[in-house]
Amino acid sequence: MLLAIDIGNTQTVIGLFAGPDDDFEPDGNRADGAIDTDLVDHWRIATQSERTSDEHALVIQEFLGFHGFSFDDDIDGIAISSVVPRSTAAFREMTHKYFGFRPVVIEPGVKTGLPILTENPREVGADRIANAVAALDLTSGPAIVIDFGTATTFDALSSRGEYLGGVIAPGLEISLDALYTRAAALRRVELVEPRGVIGRTTVDSIQNGAVFGTAGMVDGICDRIAAELGTPTVIATGGLATLVAPHTRAIDRVEPWLTLHGLRLVFRRNAST
């Protein structure tokens, strides 16, 4: 089985994939994304760069135990994308120490099959590369990938399967934190489905501004990218994608496990090296 680990600035998402020889029927209620029917389960934890390799091993051991899997016997591969260098090192050490093999980490020198045409390809985040690889597996291009994470990122992919570049905007939750911090009379609110555009309370008004404001930004940026790119398929992922996507006209599909799917593809492309 494969562990796909996406380490973000705020949260780390771990996916467990069944391999072709694994006798396990995935639970569709757990893995409700539209991509991989053999995504056995997935877990989301807070990213804490201070955690040691031993602490990470303990957490993963507990997750695997939910299904009765053996920490030592059932995992034969680990793929990692990370934007947190200290966590990358800890997970790399964990893989060496507890599993006895090297993880596939999206970094320079790893086979992705993705031509990156930016001025400095090394600047492109590993999660954005995984997203692009997955999106090109699902579409023939051109495509735009929107990831609603700590930042809201837009990645442009050409019809030839090239990564062209993108846009980085403050994430929805970051924007709300800034509003709460800088406005003395406003407080933190829960991000939920708006009841309408015109808020009848301060809480409604903040929620509406966050969701509809982000939706408007998405449509505006996608329009501008499409003017340069052609007619792209727009794929959204990330924790808040399902909240924002219904209020946009640009997003064609939501794929919650896009990054994990990309990690799995990259792992396969490097399995023989």
30-52 pLDDT, tens digit each: 333 445 558 889 999 999 999 99
Catalytic residue among 36, 38, 41, 127: 127
Mean pLDDT across the chain = 89
Write the DSSP symbol of residue 96. I
Q: Is the pLDDT of residue 267 over 90?
A: yes
Residue spans of the domains in the chain: they are 2-105, 121-260
Per-residue model confidence as pLDDT tens digits over 55-102: 999 999 999 988 788 777 889 999 999 999 999 999 999 999 999 999
Contacts of 200 (CB under 8 A, 6+ apart): none
45 CA to centre of own chain: 13
Query: Cα–Cα distance between 10 and 27 in angstroms, integer?
Result: 27
Does the pTM of the predicted model rise above 0.85? yes
Per-residue model confidence as pLDDT tens digits over 17-30: 987 555 555 444 33
Give me 143's structure tokens: 């495509």
Domain 121-260, CATH class in plain words: alpha beta
Per-residue model confidence as pLDDT tens digits over 189-219: 778 888 889 988 888 888 889 899 999 999 9
**Tell me, which fold does domain 2-105 have in CATH?**
Nucleotidyltransferase; domain 5 (3.30.420)
In this structure, the strands spanning 163-170 and 151-157 are antiparallel
Per-residue model confidence as pLDDT tens digits over 112-137: 999 999 999 999 999 999 999 999 99
Q: Is the pLDDT of residue 221 over 90?
A: yes
pLDDT at 127: 95
In the residue annotation, 127 being an active-site residue is answered as: yes
Give me 52's structure tokens: 């040691």
Q: In what order do the strands lie in the sheet with 104-105?
A: 39-46, 11-17, 2-7, 77-82, 104-105
Instruction: Report the 10 Å Cβ neighbour count for 79.
Output: 27
Give the pLDDT band of residue 159 (cuts 50, 70, 90): very high
pLDDT at 80: 97
Query: Cα–Cα distance between 56 and 43 in angstroms, integer?
Result: 13
